[in-house]
Amino acid sequence: MIDAGSVETALRSALSQGLIRQEDTAAIFYDLSFLASRIKYLTSCFPPATLHGLAIKANPLTRIMELMRGFAPNIGVEAASIGEVTMALRSGYQPDHIVYDSPVKTFSDLEFALKTGIHINIDNLSELDRVNKITMAGSCTMSGSAGLRINPQIGLGTILESSVAGEYSKFGVPINFFREELEKAYLTHPWLTGVHLHVGSQGCPMHMLTDGIGVLYDFVADMNRKRGRIGFPSISVFDIGGGLPISYQSATSPPSMDEYVRKIAERAPMLFDPASFKLITEFGRWIYTNAGWTVSRVEYVKRDPAINTAMIHVGADLFVRECLNPRDWRHEYSLFDQWGRLKEGTDDHPYNLAGPLCFSGDIVAKNVLLPRVEEGDYIVIHDTGGYTFSMWSRYNSRQTPRIVGYRADRFEILKERETLEELQGFWR
Ligand SMILES: Cc1ncc(COP(=O)(O)O)c(C=O)c1O
């Protein structure tokens, strides 16, 4: 988490260097050194041959994807659509560093993926049939590798919309209901050498993630014994998905990556034997979220008898989850004056941070304790580096903000503020 003091240093520097112009009513910042250190730490926790497929859905900015690739040789991406696969290829990722997950791949998506040589995680048994049909028709061969997504059915976390390993899930093949079919799939497809799971994201405690891995680890051990007997190659690609939670509140400490890896190794020791398994990870939130913050100028302040409202320039367009499900998604907020100086203290009444969109639910946070807010101040919403800009909504046609990266006091524009022409182009 980047604290208010560090944000103040960067914000004052950005303002003095003219990076937040009059038209930049809001902007998103990324601490690029933080991202580099995240990758260094992540790669030090896992065996060197692990492929870290960073979840593009958490942060699809081209420039960031390019930078991440340069931070370590085994950095790849996890793509949730053919659009994301294409973006990855164009950002310089080699096909064998791209993992393709989607629960609704069409025939042409699959043909493209098979020809390109990326790793495909097949979501369900009907998709497995499609892959068979395509390869048997001879229009393309399996030039990469493939796994099957299995739902270990170990339960739900505290946030329903980001829990995908309950009894029911729209993702994967549920192991308890379809064990026989899964066995058949692995014992009739020699090329099916991978397994994939993703238990969930924020809201899933660490033991749920390791429980899920444990269920698949036992299944794979059984399958490999049986595959060995019929001369099939072992299942050797084990994709553990992402999901390690992070903290949005400085008072709480999330599990650490090295602790997670230790727990996986206790439950599934052979996964760390490079002669037996190639590991894939798909972290998104853990990589990106704490590296970014969003700043908005306060345009107006409304002072009702019991509550104040700070009218800001980002709402449910940038903070979809926060506005629609505020119980589960709350950030920390800091206030700065027009020169970027941190304001201290607490006003008599709390503040609602209200966005610019035309619906009453467009409130980024309610009842926030802040110093006295004035027009022209800057509100910073912390920890917005993941699943924030990637979820941008076009409702009310607001221009997307300028996005800036920094290392100490050196800044780089990662994406320019959208022009009115570009905005109109979206609807044309
Ligand atoms: C298949 C898959 N892999 C990886 C991720 C990334 O999860 P997280 O950002 O929680 O690490 C997701 C998130 O939705 C996912 O669906």
353's CB contacts (< 8 A; 6+ apart) are 310, 312, 333, 363, 364, 365, 368, 379, 381
Rounded to the nearest angstrom, the distance between the alpha carbon of 17 and the centre of ligand 1 is 36
The domains of the chain are located at: 4-29+290-427, 33-285
Q: What percent of the chain is predicted at pLDDT more than 90? A: 92
Output the six-digit token pair for 26: 């809001």
- Tens-digit pLDDT profile for residues 85-110: 999 999 999 999 999 999 999 999 99
Ligand 1 neighbourhood includes 254 CB (under 6 angstroms): no
Q: What percent of the chain is predicted at pLDDT more than 70? A: 100
Confidence check: pLDDT of 1 > 90 = no
- Tens-digit pLDDT profile for residues 401-422: 999 999 999 999 999 999 999 9
Confidence check: pLDDT of 183 > 80 = yes
Pairwise CA distance, residues 288 & 397, whole Å: 26
As a whole number, mean pLDDT of residues 12-39 equals 98
Look at ligand 1, atom 16, and give the residue with the nearest C-alpha: 198
Output the six-digit token pair for 292: 């970014």
Predicted confidence at residue 201, as pLDDT, reads 84
- Written as one letter, the residue type at 324 is L
Look at ligand 1, atom 13, and give the residue with the nearest C-alpha: 201
Lowest-confidence region among 182-186, 198-202, 236-240, 285-289: 198-202
Helix (H, G, I), strand (E, B) or coil at 78: strand
- Tens-digit pLDDT profile for residues 63-77: 999 999 999 999 999
Rounded to the nearest angstrom, the distance between the alpha carbon of 341 and the centre of ligand 1 is 36
pLDDT averaged over every residue in the chain: 96
Q: CB burial class (10 A; 0-12, 13-18, 19+) of residue 252? A: exposed
Predicted confidence at residue 301, as pLDDT, reads 98
Ligand 1 neighbourhood includes 97 CB (under 6 angstroms): no
- Tens-digit pLDDT profile for residues 221-253: 999 999 999 999 999 999 999 999 999 999 988
Ligand 1 neighbourhood includes 55 CB (under 6 angstroms): yes
Predicted confidence at residue 57, as pLDDT, reads 98
Superfamily of domain 33-285: Alanine racemase (3.20.20.10)
| Cβ(316)–Cβ(393) below 8 Å | yes
Other Cβ atoms closer than 10 A to 369: 11
Ligand 1 neighbourhood includes 123 CB (under 6 angstroms): no
Predicted confidence at residue 203, as pLDDT, reads 85
Ligand 1 neighbourhood includes 198 CB (under 6 angstroms): yes
As a whole number, mean pLDDT of residues 166-186 equals 97
Exposure string for 111-138, b = 16+ CB within 10 A, e = fewer: bbbbbbbbbbbbbbeebbebbeebbeee
Could you check whether 4-29+290-427 and 33-285 share the same CATH topology?
no
Query: Would the pTM of this model clear 0.75, i.e. be above it?
Result: yes
Please give the number of the atom of ligand 1 that sits closest to the Cα of 164.
16
Closest by CA to 41, choosing from 334, 271, 395, 287, is 287
Predicted confidence at residue 227, as pLDDT, reads 98
Confidence check: pLDDT of 141 > 80 = no
Ligand 1 neighbourhood includes 257 CB (under 6 angstroms): no
Pairwise CA distance, residues 387 & 389, whole Å: 6
Ligand 1 neighbourhood includes 332 CB (under 6 angstroms): no
- What class, spelled out in words, does domain 4-29+290-427 have in CATH? mainly beta
Please give the number of the atom of ligand 1 that sits closest to the Cα of 242.
11
Confidence check: pLDDT of 140 > 90 = no
Exposure string for 23-61, b = 16+ CB within 10 A, e = fewer: ebbbbbbbbbebbbebbeebbebbbeebbbbbbbbbbbb
